[in-house]
């Protein structure tokens, strides 16, 4: 069973969005997935209540080992403890004030010897500094999830982007392809 921690102590940087859609992409790749929502705000738990998920979303760590291939922890904001698992997925948004917190957390995770997959999400294409930072991070191996209204729409309907109800959404196939690439990397390529 693969354990993945979605981590970034800065709030609103795409952790829950990545947790839910990474679980959905894992299911698309034929894996059984589970999301553990560690956030008292319960963003990902709300998705589970929407009833549109092809995986379970729980709020407590299961007592016995669950029958799944991948377990994804959606961590809360403002908690700096480095997660226990070896594999961290760290999403962040490129505005400068967001980036500083991300880098601090990244360095701590790196010092703790974690395997880290970085995701740049929601880059504002009209801001040169954000575009430049995104390019530089991509060069260093980061995944890039472009800014897209699909994520807000999916969230408001408690759906993943793989939900057939979103089949006609703008550029949905690109968004799905990005998540499938991310899932393939995280589930298969990274140990
Ligand atoms: N690439 C993107 N394009 C558009 N919106 C995005 C993108 N990535 C994330 N978002 C939006 O950013 C908002 C914050 O995302 P999310 O709730 O996943 O962050 P979070 O890190 O879990 O926040 P918290 O720390 O409060 O738990 C959401 O509305 C989400 O839809
Ligand atoms: Mg969240």
Do the domain assignments include residue 42?
Answer: yes
Output the pLDDT for position 49. 79
Whether residue 3 contacts residue 73, with contact meaning beta carbons closer than 8 Å, is answered with yes
What total of structural domains would you count in the chain? Answer: 1
Do the domain assignments include residue 49?
Answer: yes
Do the domain assignments include residue 22?
Answer: yes
Do the domain assignments include residue 121?
Answer: yes
Classify 127 as helix, strand or coil.
coil
The Cβ of residue 175 has, within 10 Å, a number of other Cβ atoms equal to 21
Ion ligand 2 — residues with CB < 5 Å: 15-16, 43
Position 55 pLDDT exceeds 80: yes
* E-strand stretches of 7-97: 33-37, 56-58, 70-74, 87-92
State the average pLDDT over residues 136-165: 96
Do the domain assignments include residue 191?
Answer: no
User: Which pLDDT tens digit goes with each residue over 114-133?
Assistant: 999 999 999 999 999 999 99
Position 191 pLDDT exceeds 80: no
d(CA 50, CA 122): 24
Position 80 pLDDT exceeds 90: yes
Among the ranges given (36-45, 75-84, 175-184), the one the predictor scored with the smallest mean pLDDT: 36-45
CATH number (domain holding residue 19): 3.40.50.300
Do the domain assignments include residue 138?
Answer: yes
- Residue of 16, 126, 156 with the most ligand 1 atoms within 8 Å of its CB, for mutation: 16
Domain span holding position 22:
2-73+80-186
Closest CA to 108 of 185, 11, 9, 182: 9
- Residue of 9, 10, 17, 42 with the most ligand 1 atoms within 8 Å of its CB, for mutation: 17
Position 172 pLDDT exceeds 90: yes
Q: Please list the alpha-helical segments (H only) found in the chain.
A: 15-28, 43-50, 96-111, 128-139, 149-156, 172-184
């Amino acid at each position: 069973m693969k354990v993945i921690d979605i981590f970034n102590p800065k709030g609103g940087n795409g952790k829950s969005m990545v947790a839910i859609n990474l679980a959905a992409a894992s299911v698309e790749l034929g894996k059984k997935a589970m999301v553990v929502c560690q956030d008292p705000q319960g963003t990902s738990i709300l998705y589970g209540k929407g009833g549109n998920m092809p995986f379970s979303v729980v709020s407590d760590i299961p007592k016995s080992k669950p029958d799944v291939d991948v377990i994804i922890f959606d961590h809360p904001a403002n908690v700096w403890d480095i997660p226990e698992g070896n594999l961290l997925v760290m999403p962040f948004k490129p505005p400068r004030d967001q980036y500083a917190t991300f880098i601090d957390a990244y360095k701590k995770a790196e010092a703790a010897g974690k395997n880290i997959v970085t995701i740049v999400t929601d880059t504002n294409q009209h801001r040169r500094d954000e575009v430049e930072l995104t390019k530089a991070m991509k060069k260093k191996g980061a995944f890039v999830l472009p800014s897209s209204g699909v994520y807000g729409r999916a969230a408001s309907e408690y759906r993943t982007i793989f939900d057939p109800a979103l089949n006609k959404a703008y550029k949905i196939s690109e968004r799905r392809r990005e998540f499938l690439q991310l899932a393939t990397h995280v589930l298969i390529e990274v140990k």
